[in-house]
Amino acid sequence: MTASPLFFSDATPDRIDAALASDGLWLSYGACRVRVRAEASGFARILQDVYGAFPFQDQGEFADFHVRLERGRGLRRLVKPQVRFSIDGVEPFEPFPVSNALPLFEWGVNWCFGQRFNQYVLLHAGVLGLNGRALVMPAVPGSGKSTLTAALMLSGFRLLSDEFGVLRPMDGRLLPMLKPVALKNESIEVIRRFAPDARMGPVFAGTRKGDVAHLAPNAESVAELDCELAPALVLFPRWEAGAALSLLPQAPEQAFARLAFNSFNYGLLGARSFNAVADLVERSQCYQLVYSRLDEALDCIRCLMTDEDV
């Protein structure tokens, strides 16, 4: 009889701490696998908060990235303690206060993926699924993408990623890069009001990106970590205070240019990225969505994804 899998929500903080301090934990995000070791006070408890639905694995044979969170050196181990993120001896960020270990870890993993996973076209986009089809939402910072992504997941959509649209050039399918949704500033309260029971980590005030809190991916999304999707809809969202809902079709050349602009590695991959993005546009309906009311935006997107009249 096969044993039931152990999830982060089932493990005790002491067990998580022990794993982090020894061989590490293996986190599967779908498109990649990360082994993390850490010596940051309180990190285990917060990690459990936002990865509760993920499998707990303290043994593994392969990881794409091996990362560490280590305490600051010298007096920084005692006075205003800090934590450092490293991969292969490289520290891409300045040390953070030890209380901000989770934001440092999340941004560090994003940095690893964005810098070192160039077998895929990496779009700066939220990606969600409904009825076996994928919605891609590329957007610049400040557009409300993460808020909309979080609300869609909490409304029955499957979350693949908040940050990375992982597009496989060989077949045009989208892979999960499933991590907690990083909500910033006003978005935190918007989502708390929208879904009071949503599982969210603590608010980290005054980080380099403002106030940040992490929304945990739900169990339904985690259960489909190994399932990629074909694209159906590309949506360029923009929140504007007081704006009436507006849905504007995008010509293929407009959509192509905006997708290429919102890519981490489009220029690096040359013809591969050109062909992959062109195929994505050809296979999808493409629109710009301007909204101020979250409920109206959600109803509109659901209609587009179910081929109903908007």
Q: Which of 116, 144, 179 is the last residue of a domain?
A: 116
**Are the CB atoms for 55 and 26 separated by under 8 Å?**
no
User: Taking every pair of C-alpha atoms in the chain, what is the biggest distance, in angstroms?
Assistant: 63
Q: Which of 116, 140, 171 is the last residue of a domain?
A: 116
Strand-pair partners of 189: none
Q: At what angle do helices 43-50 and 13-21 cross, to 10 degrees?
A: 110
Same domain, 148 and 295: yes
Report residue 76's pLDDT band, with 50, 70 and 90 as the boundaries.
low
Taking the C-alpha atoms of residue 200 and residue 239, their distance in angstroms, rounded to an integer, is 23
Same domain, 146 and 263: yes
Same domain, 17 and 107: yes
**Are the CB atoms for 159 and 187 separated by under 8 Å?**
no
Question: What burial class does residue 295 get, using C-beta atoms within 10 Å of its C-beta: 0-12 exposed, 13-18 middle, 19+ buried?
Answer: exposed
The domain in which residue 15 lies consists of: 8-116
CA dihedral over 105, 109, 110, 112, signed as positive or negative: positive
pLDDT surpassing 70 at residue 75: no
pLDDT of residue 220: 96
310 within a domain of the structure (yes/no): no
Q: At what angle do helices 252-261 and 271-282 cross, to 10 degrees?
A: 130
The domain total for the chain is 2
Q: At what angle do helices 145-153 and 294-305 cross, to 10 degrees?
A: 70
Same domain, 86 and 130: no
Look at residues 151, 154, 157 and name the one whose alpha carbon lies nearest to residue 131: 157
Same domain, 192 and 292: yes
Same domain, 152 and 173: yes
Task: Find the helix or strand (DSSP H, E) in which 25 lies.
Answer: strand 25-28
Q: Which amino acid is at 87?
A: I
DSSP state of 91: -
pLDDT tens string 231-255: 999 999 999 999 999 999 999 999 9
Q: Which of 94, 116, 138 is the last residue of a domain?
A: 116
Same domain, 80 and 215: no
**Does the model's pTM come out above 0.85?**
yes
Report residue 132's pLDDT band, with 50, 70 and 90 as the boundaries.
very high
pLDDT of residue 18: 93
Same domain, 223 and 75: no
Least confident interval from 70-74, 179-183, 292-296: 70-74
Q: Torsions phi, psi of 54, nearest 5?
A: -85, 150
Same domain, 195 and 273: yes
Same domain, 93 and 160: no
pLDDT of residue 208: 85
pLDDT of residue 308: 64
Q: At what angle do helices 145-153 and 186-194 cross, to 10 degrees?
A: 20
